[in-house]
């Protein structure tokens, strides 16, 4: 009991670390991506496990539920880990991110790869869908697209989640579908960071970088999806639990696992 309560002594440390993060989320993300060093299993980026294990679990849904003749847009692509992997399954992948630094990083990590392109777009902004349509057109694709989103909605506030969903609606049209996979950890921030290896004495480096520089994440499960993607506009084709993987934190080689939620959605 005492040791369970002891972890709450972490709270003041978390509050102090987070207190200097930029208040504007777009600025915070761009600053974060401008400062990170290496990516992958030994890198700085908390959510980049350096392995395709998590994607392989999604492939069953992606290949069964999404039209493989349509391009796919990786929304909030970060350094493009998933964009590059998706290129094996769709004719084109467009990775978009609010951070120009993330897009520069994704492009550099994808150099020489065909069928992948990137664009800096704020997908919560009213012109987000038009910017995506223009970027797809310059890659030679017009009409509907599929959408892939991993680990983005849970870092947005409720109005931004709804705004992003609204931008996706015209992009998917009749034939495209949205696949989303999000963190759905049932617990408070102290329990979350403890789950990822933070103790009173130390916080794993990639986790500390995220706490210091980024908006506080929440969770995105069925209730959050219902609110952001209302029934009047979206049909749920399939949904359920998934596991998201982070960079190894508590041991050198084994990614940490975060309980998550996935959904495949179709516009009404």
Ligand X SMILES: C[S@@+](CC[C@H](N)C(=O)[O-])C[C@H]1O[C@@H](n2cnc3c(N)ncnc32)[C@H](O)[C@@H]1O
Residue 62 as a binder of ligand X (CB under 6 A): the answer is no
Closest among 59, 58, 55, 105 to 78, alpha carbons compared: 105
Helix (H, G, I), strand (E, B) or coil at 199: coil
- Nearer of residues 132 and 203 to ligand X, judged by Cβ: 132
Residue 152 as a binder of ligand X (CB under 6 A): the answer is yes
Compute the C-alpha angle 174/118/58, nearest 5°: 55
Nearest approach in angstroms of CB 200 to ligand X is 26
Q: What is residue 9's DSSP assignment?
A: G
Structure-token pair, residue 230 = 């209302």
Residue 150 as a binder of ligand X (CB under 6 A): the answer is yes
Residue 77 as a binder of ligand X (CB under 6 A): the answer is yes
Closest among 84, 62, 85, 168 to 124, alpha carbons compared: 168
Other beta carbons less than 10 A from residue 50's beta carbon? 18
Q: Residue 171: CB partners within 8 Å, gap ≥ 6?
A: 73, 129, 132, 133, 144, 145, 147
Residue 155 as a binder of ligand X (CB under 6 A): the answer is yes
- 95 has which bridge partners? 74, 118
Among 58, 82, 192, 262, binds ligand X (CB under 6 A): 82
- Nearer of residues 130 and 268 to ligand X, judged by Cβ: 130
Q: Measured between alpha carbons, how far is 266 from 250 in angstroms, rounded to an integer?
A: 38
- Residues in the interface with ligand X (CB under 6 A) total 19
- Nearer of residues 82 and 90 to ligand X, judged by Cβ: 82
Residue 193 as a binder of ligand X (CB under 6 A): the answer is no
Residue 55 as a binder of ligand X (CB under 6 A): the answer is no
Task: Classify the phi-psi angles of 180: left when phi > 0, otherwise alpha if psi is within -120 to 50, otherwise beta.
Answer: beta
Sign of CA dihedral 7, 248, 107, 88: negative
- Nearer of residues 121 and 265 to ligand X, judged by Cβ: 121
Nearest approach in angstroms of CB 110 to ligand X is 13
Stretch that binds ligand X, among 12-20, 109-117, 118-126, 187-195 (CB under 6 A): 118-126
Closest among 153, 136, 154 to 145, alpha carbons compared: 136
Residue 78 as a binder of ligand X (CB under 6 A): the answer is yes
Among 151, 176, 213, 221, binds ligand X (CB under 6 A): 151
- Nearer of residues 99 and 201 to ligand X, judged by Cβ: 99
| x/- letters, 204..243, toward ligand X (CB under 6 A) | ----------------------------------------
Residue 123 as a binder of ligand X (CB under 6 A): the answer is yes
Q: Which residues bind ligand X (CB under 6 A)?
A: 29, 47-48, 76-78, 81-82, 97-99, 102, 122-124, 150-152, 155
């Amino acid at each position: 009991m005492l040791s369970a309560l002891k972890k709450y002594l972490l709270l003041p440390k978390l509050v102090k670390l987070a207190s200097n993060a930029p208040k504007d989320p777009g600025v915070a993300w761009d600053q974060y991506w401008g400062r990170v060093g290496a990516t992958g299993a030994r890198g700085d980026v908390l959510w980049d496990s350096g392995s395709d294990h998590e994607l392989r679990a999604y492939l069953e849904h992606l290949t069964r539920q999404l039209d493989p003749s349509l391009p796919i847009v990786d929304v909030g692509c970060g350094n493009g880990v998933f964009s590059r992997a998706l290129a094996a399954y769709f004719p084109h992948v467009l990775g978009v991110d609010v951070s120009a630094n993330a897009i520069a990083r994704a492009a550099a990590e994808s150099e020489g790869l065909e069928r992948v392109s990137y664009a800096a777009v704020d997908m919560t902004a009213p012109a987000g869908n038009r910017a995506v349509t223009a970027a797809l057109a310059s890659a030679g694709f017009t009409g509907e697209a599929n959408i892939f989103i991993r680990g983005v909605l849970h870092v947005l506030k409720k109005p931004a989640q709804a705004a992003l969903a609204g931008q996706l609606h015209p992009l998917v049209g009749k034939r495209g579908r949205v696949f989303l996979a999000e963190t759905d950890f049932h617990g408070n921030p102290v329990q979350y960071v403890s789950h990822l290896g933070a103790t009173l004495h130390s916080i794993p480096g990639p986790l500390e970088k995220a706490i210091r520089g980024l908006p506080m994440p929440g969770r995105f499960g069925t209730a959050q999806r219902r609110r952001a993607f209302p029934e009047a506009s979206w049909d749920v084709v399939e949904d359920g639990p998934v596991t998201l993987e982070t960079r190894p934190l508590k041991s050198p080689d084994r990614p940490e696992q975060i309980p998550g939620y996935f959904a495949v959605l179709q516009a009404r």
